[in-house]
Amino acid sequence: MHDGLDITTVIFALLAVFVVWKLKAVLGARVDIDRRAPNRTENPSETGAGGSVVRLPGAADPATSPSQPFQRLDEFASTAQAQASLRTIIAADRTFDPARFLSGAKMAYEMIVGAFAAGDGKTLGALLSPDVLRSFLSVVDQRAAAGQQASTRFVSIDAADIADATLKEGVAQISVRFAAKMINVVRDKSGEVASGDPETVVTTDDLWTFARPVGSSDPAWKLIATESGHHP
């Protein structure tokens, strides 16, 4: 081979050039997309990455079309009454989008259930109203006093549907019914199972209500009430 270069070296050099060219082309295309849609940005507070505050989308995005939610309410709300209430909320806050709200609600549901099992008071404090937080932490404290450890593993969130919505004295309240599958286990000090079953998938039927003052500078929705049902 000439000057110490063999055919393998040449091939790998050409492949490297090709990969760099492809990456450059892909990144360039992504930049063009972002330039056309400047509001599609990620925020750690919205995704839950790097922080404990989870923002439920739907209340502070000026790019949302005010007419779009009116045309699609039957996709998100299960009753005519809930749809009518959502129209009232949208009229008061034209940036509210049920699709974005439900997406954030599902993320919050999974994070709250996980934080409750892990005894993560910081995350719970960012997502729950004071009354609900006290109720959750009382159970967390009881488990800690008994030397118990809980764990929850989500299998799936099968459905999330707006069951009810109200606007009262400037505060929007939206109840979401979650159907999910998960595995819940509580172990005692010795690691033995005290409740639940690591091999059993439990189906949940939970009704959670989130609230937020319309027009508030704080974009976060808080969980203010829960009704839970579990069955194998």
**Which pLDDT value is given to residue 39?**
40
Cα–Cα dist 171/221, whole Å? 11
Residue 18 has pLDDT above 90, yes or no: no
Residue linked to tokens 């699609």 = 72
154 touches 116 (CB < 8 A)? no
Could you tell me which residue, 136 or 26, shows the higher pLDDT? 136
pTM: 0.68
Is 37's pLDDT higher than 60?
Answer: no
* 45 and 53 Cβ atoms separated by less than 8 Å: yes
Please say if the pLDDT value at position 131 is more than 70. Answer: yes
pLDDT value for 144: 95
Tokens matching residue 93: 């806050």
Which amino acid is located at 104 in the chain? G
Q: In whole angstroms, give the CA distance from residue 155 to residue 41.
A: 29
Helix (H) or strand (E) holding 57: none
Q: What is the structure's pLDDT at 192?
A: 94
| pLDDT band per the 50, 70, 90 thresholds, residue 215 | confident
Contact by Cβ (8 Å): 169, 139? no
Confidence of residue 182 (pLDDT cuts 50, 70, 90): very high
**What is the tens place of the pLDDT at every residue in 77-120?**
878 888 999 999 999 988 788 999 999 999 999 999 999 999 99
Give the model's pLDDT for residue 47: 37
What's the mean pLDDT when you consider all of the chain? 77
45, pLDDT greater than 70: no
Res 228 pLDDT > 90: no
Cα 83 to Cα 70, 159, 166, distances in angstroms: 9, 18, 10
Residue 226's Cα: distance from chain center in Å?
16
- pLDDT attached to residue 57: 45
pLDDT at 230: 59
**Which residue has better confidence, 212 or 66?**
212
